[in-house]
C-alpha cells in the first residue's frame, strides 16, 4: 500500500482553514453589531497655563456668601476624590449653615483635578453649571452620586441627566458646554493656583490665607481652628455643635481628615 505523499497530507488542512475563516467572519459580524461609536465626551485634560503672581491673585473660584465677610475659606477639591465627597457630605453643609449663612464667612470653591478618570471633566461640568447659576446644585449632585459616574465610560451623559433634574437648568445648553472644551482654561488656572499655594491633595482648605493641615475630622474641630484664626468674627457667638447632617446621595462613611494625594 503506497503511503500518501506529504503534499496530499498538507491539503488535509484545508477544511481546518475553512472553519477558521468562518469563525473569523462570524466574530467580525458579531462585533460589528455590538459597536457603539465613541461619544464626544468633552475636554478631560488641562491646558498649559503660566500665570504670573498678579494673575494668580485674580483667578476666580466659585464663591458663596458675603463678599465682605470677615472670614474667607478656600477649598481646593476634586469632584472624583472620595475624601472630597465625604467632606462635601458631612462638613461643608455645616460650614455653610454656621459660617456662610450667618455672614461670617465667604466660601470659595476651586477645582484641583487630581488625575482620576473624570477629574477634569467633572470640574468643567461644575463650571458649566455655574454658567447657569446652578453650581452648588450640581456640586451636590456630582459629589453625592460620585460612585455612579466615576466608573461610567460616558460620565458627561450622567452629568447631563443630573442637569435635567435641577429646576431651572437648561440641560441642552449644559450638555453642549460639557461636551466641548469650554472652561478648560479656567479649571487649569484654578489648578495652577492650587499648585502655587502648595496644594498636593484634596480637599485642602485655607482660612484667611492659612492652610488647615491636617484637615479636622469634624466640623466642631474645624470651627475651633477657624475661631483661633479669626476670633473677631465670633465675638459673642457660642461654639458649634458637633452634629453632622443626614447623609445625602449615595455618599457614605465618615470624614477621615485624610487627603487624597496627587
Interface residue list for other proteins (CB under 8 A) = 3, 6, 9-10, 12-13, 16, 19-20, 23-24, 27-28, 30-31, 33-39, 117, 151-154
* Dist CA 226 CA 206 (whole Å): 10
CB 219 within 8 A of CB 94: yes
Q: What are phi and psi of 110, to 5 degrees?
A: -120, 135
Report, in Å, the least distance between residue 12 CB and other proteins. Answer: 7
By beta-carbon proximity to other proteins, the closer residue of 23 and 242 is 23
- Min CB(20)–other proteins separation in Å: 6
- Cell numbers for 59: 483667578
How far is the C-alpha of 129 from the C-alpha of 173, rounded, in Å? 10
Rounded CA gap, 96 and 101, in Å?
A: 6
Q: How far is the CB of 11 from other proteins (least distance, A)?
A: 11
Choose between 19 and 237: whose C-beta lies nearer to other proteins: 19
- Is residue 155 a contact partner of residue 121, using CB atoms and an 8 Å limit? yes
CB nearer to other proteins: pick between 19 and 239: 19
Q: Of 14 and 50, which CB lies nearer to other proteins in the complex structure?
A: 14
Closest C-alpha among 262, 234, 215, 193 to residue 87: 215
What's the rounded Cα separation, in Å, for the pair 241 and 169?
35
Q: How far is the CB of 156 from other proteins (least distance, A)?
A: 11
Rg (CA), the chain: 26
Distance CA 255, CA 186 (A): 29
- Residue 178 CB, shortest distance to other proteins, in Å, is 16
Nearer to other proteins, 34 or 50 (CB): 34
Residue 36 or 236 having the CB closest to other proteins:
36
Q: How far is the CB of 177 from other proteins (least distance, A)?
A: 20
Amino acid at each position: 500500500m503506497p503511503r500518501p505523499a506529504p503534499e496530499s497530507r498538507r491539503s488535509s488542512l484545508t477544511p481546518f482553514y475553512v472553519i477558521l475563516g468562518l469563525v473569523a467572519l462570524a466574530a467580525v459580524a458579531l462585533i460589528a453589531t455590538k459597536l457603539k461609536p465613541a461619544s464626544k465626551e468633552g475636554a478631560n485634560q488641562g491646558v498649559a497655563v503660566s500665570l504670573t503672581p498678579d494673575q494668580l491673585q485674580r483667578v476666580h473660584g466659585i464663591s458663596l456668601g458675603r463678599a465682605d465677610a470677615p472670614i474667607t475659606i478656600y477649598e481646593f477639591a476634586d469632584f472624583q476624590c472620595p475624601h472630597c465627597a465625604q467632606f462635601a457630605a458631612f462638613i461643608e453643609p455645616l460650614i455653610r449653615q454656621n459660617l456662610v449663612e450667618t455672614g461670617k464667612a465667604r466660601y470659595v470653591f476651586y477645582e484641583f483635578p487630581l488625575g482620576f478618570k473624570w477629574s477634569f471633566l467633572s470640574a468643567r461640568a461644575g463650571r458649566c453649571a455655574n454658567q447657569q447659576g446652578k453650581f452648588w446644585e450640581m456640586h451636590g449632585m456630582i459629589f453625592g452620586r460620585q460612585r455612579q459616574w466615576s466608573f461610567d465610560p460616558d460620565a458627561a451623559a450622567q452629568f447631563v441627566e443630573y442637569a435635567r433634574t435641577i429646576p431651572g437648568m437648561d440641560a441642552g445648553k449644559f450638555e453642549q458646554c460639557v461636551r466641548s472644551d469650554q472652561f478648560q482654561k479656567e479649571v487649569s488656572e484654578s489648578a495652577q493656583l492650587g499648585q502655587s499655594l502648595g496644594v498636593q491633595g484634596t480637599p485642602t482648605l485655607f482660612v484667611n490665607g492659612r492652610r488647615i493641615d491636617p484637615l479636622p475630622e469634624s466640623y466642631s474641630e474645624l470651627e475651633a481652628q477657624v475661631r483661633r484664626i479669626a476670633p473677631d468674627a465670633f465675638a459673642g457667638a457660642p461654639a458649634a455643635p458637633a452634629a453632622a447632617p443626614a447623609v445625602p446621595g449615595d455618599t457614605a462613611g465618615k470624614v477621615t481628615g485624610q487627603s487624597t494625594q496627587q
